[in-house]
Chain A
Amino acid sequence: MKVLWRNELNGRSGIVVEPEGYDGVPWVRELWMDRRPVALHPDRVAVAAALVFGRDAVGDLEFERPISIGVAESIKIFCRTPSLNVSPVDYEQRPFADGAGRMEIVANAFNLHKGSHFQDDRSLTLSVMRSDQYSGSLISSSGLVVSSNAYLHDAHSEKREGTAYGSLAIGVLFSEDLGLDVCSTSGSSLPIAASEMLVASGLRTL
C-alpha cells in the first residue's frame, strides 16, 4: 500500500492510499482536511496513515519519506500483520517534532473556550468537524477548528475496533503546528498498540 500526501486545487489536503497486492481496499481511500498542516513530520504522517489505513495493509506499507525505526516497528505491531514491510526507514535517531502541551480532540463540536496557547499549562482544543456539514478552518488562541472527512473513518474504525481513529489521526497531523505533545480524546482509552505508535513519534496519550 502506497501512502501519499496530496494538496488539491480546491483547498483540501490529506493522505491518499493506493492499495496493492494483497491489501484490502479501504472503505474510503482518503483522509481529507480543509487545511494543510504547515509541519508535516514524516513520523507523524506515517502514524496518522497507519491509524486510519494500516489495518488494510498486508505486504508493503510504503511512505513518501523515510520514517524512524521506532515508528516503523510500532506500526507493524499495530497493524497485526506479520508480513507487513514498512518503508522507507531511517535507522538514525532523528529529533522528535517539537511540542509541549495538551490537545483535546473533539469530534463534531465547537469547544474553543477551553484552554489557551498562552497559559502555562498549555491546553488547546482541536475540533474536527464533519466535511459534509462544515467547510474550511478557523484558528483562535484556544484551538483549531478544521473540517475533515475523518468522521467517516471514525464511524468505520469504531465499528471495527471500538475506537475513533480518524479524528485522532487529524490530531496527530496538527500536533506540531499547535506545538503540543499530548493527544487526548474523549471516550474509552486508546488500545496499547495505537498508543505506542503515538509515543514512538514523540507524542503522549492520556
Chain B
Amino acid sequence: MKIAIINGRVINPANGFDRICDILIDNGKIVSIKKLTKIPENAKIIDAKGKIVSPGIIDIHTHLREPGHEEEETIRSGTISAAAGGVTTVCCMPNTHPVIDNQTAVEFISLKAKNEGVVNVYIIGAISKGLKGEEISEIGELKSAGVVAISDDGNPVMNSLIMRRALEYAKMFNLPVISHCEDLNLSADGVMNEGYVSTTLGLRGISKESEEVMVARDIMLARLTGGHLHIAHVTTKNSVELIRQAKKQKIKITSEVTPHHFTLTDECAKTYDTNTKIKPPLRTKEDVMAIKNGLKDGTIDCIVSDHAPHTEEEKQKEYDLAPFGIIGLETLLPLTITELVLKKVLTLNEALAKLTINPARILNIDRGDLKIGAPADVIVFDIKKKRKIEKFYSKSRNSPFLGWELYGFPEVTIVNGKVIMENGEIYV
C-alpha cells in the first residue's frame, strides 16, 4: 500500500532534518523524504498542512499487564492505546504474572504481540528470577529470546551484590539494566511524597532520599562494573544532580522521566484522588523545575509513559489501599508538547528526540529515524489544536488528566507502513 503524507513539517531528530516536504511510504517502508513532483496513483493521501510529521514515538517503559492481569489491559488493548497516543513502538516491563524471567515467557509475549499487537512490541526481561531480587535470571537465554533490556521494575534490586552481578553479567550481552530506584526500607508503607502535604493529609510519606540513595548506589555499581545503567522514572532534584555528575565522569548511564513528574506535584493528592497515587510519587515544585532543567541540558535522555493500568474497582478505594500507578500512553505526546514545547522548556526537535531517537539508541532498537528504507513508523500531529481528554482507548481509565485540555494530540499513526490510527479511529 502506498501512502503519501504531504505538506507537513517533517522533523527527524536523528539528523536534525526540519523542513516542509512530503513522505512517501510503500510496502511498509519509507521510500522518499522530499517534495513530491507527482503523487503516485492509488496512493492514500494524508494532508499534513500546518501539522508536524515525525517518527513514531518509542515508549521504553510501559506495563501491558498480559499475562496475568488482562482485566487491566492486554497486549492488544495496550497497543491500541499506544497507537491512539502516537506511540509506534512500546517496550513492556516483565512484572506480569507469571514474570518474564525465562525464554518461554518471552516467546509468549512475542507471539501475542505478533498476532494481536497493533504496534511494535519489544520485551524487557527480568533482572532476577520472579523479581525476587535473590538470583539473577538466565540473562543469556533472555537475550537470545530477544529482550532489549532487563529490569525488575515495580521493584528495586535491594541487594547490592545482586545488582552488581546483574550489571556485570548483562554487559556481556550489551543489555542495559533499567533500575527502579527505591530503598524499600526507607519508603516502607509510604503512599505519597513525604512533605508538608503528606503531613497535613495524614498520609505516610515516601522520602525523596529513598530514591536518591539507590540512584547513588547504582551509579557507583555502574562505575565499578562498566555496565550500562538506565535510571527509570527520575523524580527528584538530587537524583538529577547525581546523574549529571555521573555523566561528567563518563559513567555509562542514561535516564528517563515521565510526563506526570514534570507536570504535577504532591499538592494534587489533597482531594485523596487515588489517580494521584503513583510510584515513584509526585514530588514538589523544586523537583519539577530540576527535571525540566535536566531535560534541557541532556542529563535526562528520554521521556516515557510508565503506563500502569488498573481497574476502577482497584482504584476506587481508600488512598492507603489503592494500588500505585496511572495510565500514560495517550497523554505522553500531548503533555510533552503542552508542558515542555509550548512552555518553551524544550524545542520541538529536542522534545521529539527524547521521544524517538534517544530511547531507540538507549535500547539499540533500529527505529525512530526517518530514513529511506526504514520501516515506516510515522505520526502526524497538530500542536496548534487543543482538545479535552474525555475518553481513553486503554481498558483502564486511571489517569489524573481526565478532563484536561492539551495540545499536540496525534492525528495519524502509521506503523510499518500501515495506518493504524487516523482521526481517532483505530484500523486493525
**Chain A complexes with chain B:** no
Residues of B at the A interface (CB closer than 8 Å) are none
Residues of A at the B interface (CB closer than 8 Å) are none
